[in-house]
Amino acid sequence: MSFAVTILGSSSAKPTPDRHPSAQAVNIHEQYYLVDAGEGVQQQLIRYGINPLKLRAAFISHLHGDHVYGLFPLISTLGLYGRRTPLEVYAPAPFGEILECHLRYFDTELPYEVVWHEVRTTEHALLYENRTLEVWSIPLRHRVPCAGFLFREKEPPLNVDKFKIVKYGLSIAQITAAKRGEAVRLDDGTLLENGELTYRPYAPRSYAYLSDTNYSAKAAGLCRGVDLMYHEATYAAAEQRAARDRGHATTVDAAKAALRAGARRLVIGHYSSRYRDEAPLVEEARTLFAESYAAREGTTFTIEKRP
């Protein structure tokens, strides 16, 4: 089953000719989630082959324009496409007031409902879940209330070892009991512990999105063991003071966060417009965290299953 992140935008606030503002599409088991929505996000979805109608929910880290301005045209376009199912939007207050104004003046007859859920940016809380997924908020340190998001698969169902089915002559009822995590008693009275019969098909996968923020050891710690981490790196390491004063991170800050989290891979983005080439920024991050990569638009990072 798929678990992948497609970069739709990688720029910070000032426009550039070849980068869009922050936006990503997260595909988990062919269910799509939008993470931040900078200007032009609907065109970027189409450009990279993602049907906007497939979006289940949108997660907005904070209410700076380069992270949210693209959501309102997308809401309108989904209406033109004939969407009927509700769109869940998770965002900090006062997003509800902004949404209300948009709906009042621009989408008075929208054929579907936009449902806002407040993200409390000082809390590490479960925001969303379904049968296979949980999404948690991660408090960040920016100039305005801001939260990151941790996407985490739930434990996959147990599989029963086919060899053990044959070895012990297990019935359908016994196999079903084993899949529920129960011990199984054979016809001769032997009790088999569940671990003798079952195995997890793969370890749950995870993705952390740490948007605009100063370095936060606490935020990194909440992402312990994450498979893939996105961390903003607006500035090169030499601009540490500017990053600190403006509520942003450097390449080295991002690498430190990945190290603290024990992440398997790091993606950096939200580049300042002063940097035309992101390659030196990635190389700088790699001096501390080797598995660092650039958030280039159109790039998809796939998280493969592992035992």
Alpha helix segments (H runs only) across 194-276: 194-197, 217-221, 240-246, 251-261
Q: Give the H or E element holding residue 89.
A: strand 87-91
Sign of CA dihedral 209, 126, 38, 48: positive
| β-strand pairing of 55-59 with 87-91 | parallel
For 42-64, b/e burial (b = at least 16 CB within 10 A) is: bebbeeeebebeebbbbbbbbbb
Q: Which of 18, 36, 66, 188 is catalytic?
A: 66
187 catalytic? Reply is: no
SS3 280: helix
Distance (Å, rounded) from C-alpha 21 to C-alpha 295?
A: 12
Alpha-carbon dihedral of residues 196, 303, 87, 105, nearest 10 degrees? 160
Residue of 4, 5, 306 whose CA lies nearest to 156? 306
Distance (Å, rounded) from C-alpha 256 to C-alpha 284?
A: 12
- Which positions are annotated as active-site residues? 66
